[in-house]
Amino acid sequence: MKVQGMFFRWCAALALLVALAMAISPASAYAERTLALSAGSFAFEVDPGQEKSGEVVVINESDEPIRVLVYTSDQIIDEEGEITYKTPDRDDPDFARRPTSWVRIQMPAEARAIGNTPYLEMAPGQRIPVKFVFQPPLNAAPGDQNVILFFEMFDMPEGTEGAITQVRGRIGSRLQMRVTGEHIERMSIRPFIVPGFVIGNQIPFDLTLRNEGNLDQRLSVAVVLFDRNDVEIARSEPHLASVVFAGSNRRLQDEIASDRQLFGPYNVQAEVYRVDEEGKIIEQPEQLLESRSVWIIPLWAVVALGAAVLILLARGAWHVLRVRSGKNQKLDARAEARRRRREERER
């Protein structure tokens, strides 16, 4: 028994030593690959046919070498505002109409390529500048166009070329190109859906911001609940200092929750504000507002009404049962009297 106890103590001590060794081992053994950019976005104003350029410095902030693909992508925005990114394809019949066709990447001399996609081999701590040039065509429509310049880490088996085994993550720099000409700023809220009546203190809403102009708009949205005297009761802010891109929508679904019981008619108002990158409201000649009416019924009122209805139904059912029981008793008495008279005649 003593030998067995000593054996278990030695095992516990060994496990503790292994855990301590793992805890104090150099962090570099488990270092994550980290990529950084000198700029996350650019904003240019350019005339049709004019050429402009810029530069992004790619930084390997990890402690091991990395490979980085460099390519551009168009952003595709669906009806609800969800964004996907599409790598340009020269066989695409719409290629020439996409803003990625305006952009050329000027890679450094040491860059290599997999197929038609260039990539960088970066030592730990290395910084490599990547230049880009863009030129909208002479017939380019005025307004904002966006291209994402992506930098994507990947692994490739040693001694092979042209075979990516695993993507390690990517970051991008946004190129916003504002083509000069007639600029239109036009926003609307359509639809703005609020139920006509609500039970409880949570009011759901569903609204869609529509940027019907040709300029990107950085906006904040508040949906506010007012009483009959225009006193604010509660608010929800489902969209804060985010961009709604030119010609696209952004759908917002949420709810307003009051911290007290409400009863009666109320007003729900959607308020849209133009803001700067820090979220501060920008002065505008006319604010975009949409309002809807809603009747709010507290849950206790519904419970009380339901209980009252149940009591009335129970009383009605009891009355019907009593009436039927009285009729049955009268019928039974008459039947008994007829039976007796019949027996007396038979005698």
Q: Which class is domain 25-179? A: mainly beta
Summarize pLDDT for 206-222 with one digit per residue, the tens: 999 999 999 999 999 99
- pLDDT above 60 for 134: yes
- Give the mean pLDDT of 22-43: 70
Q: What percent of the chain has pLDDT over 70?
A: 85
Residue 244 has pLDDT above 50, yes or no: yes
Whether residue 25 is predicted with pLDDT greater than 50 in this model: the reply is no
* Planar angle of CA 166, 41, 134, nearest 5 degrees: 90
What's the pLDDT score for residue 163? Answer: 58
Beta bridge partners of 202: 257
pTM above 0.85, yes or no: no
Distance of CA 286 to the CA centre of its chain: 28
Confidence of residue 165 (pLDDT cuts 50, 70, 90): low
Higher pLDDT, 218 or 9: 218
DSSP 8-state class, residue 264: E
Q: Where are the domains of the chain?
A: 25-179, 187-300
Q: What would the CATH number be for the domain defined by 187-300?
A: 2.60.40.10
The reply to whether domains 25-179 and 187-300 share a CATH topology is: yes
Task: Name every residue whose Cβ is closer than 8 Å to that of residue 140 and which is 6 or more positions away in sequence.
Answer: 48, 102, 179
Whether the per-residue pLDDT at 21 is higher than 70: the answer is no
pLDDT, tens digit (0-9, with 9 covering 90-100), for 247-268? 999 999 999 999 988 999 999 9
N-term to C-term CA, the chain: 106
d(Cα 331, Cα 329) in Å, to the nearest integer?
Answer: 5
Confidence of residue 31 (pLDDT cuts 50, 70, 90): low
Phi then psi dihedrals of residue 309, to 5 deg: -65, -45
Give the chain's mean pLDDT. 87
On the question of pLDDT at 37 being above 80, the answer is yes
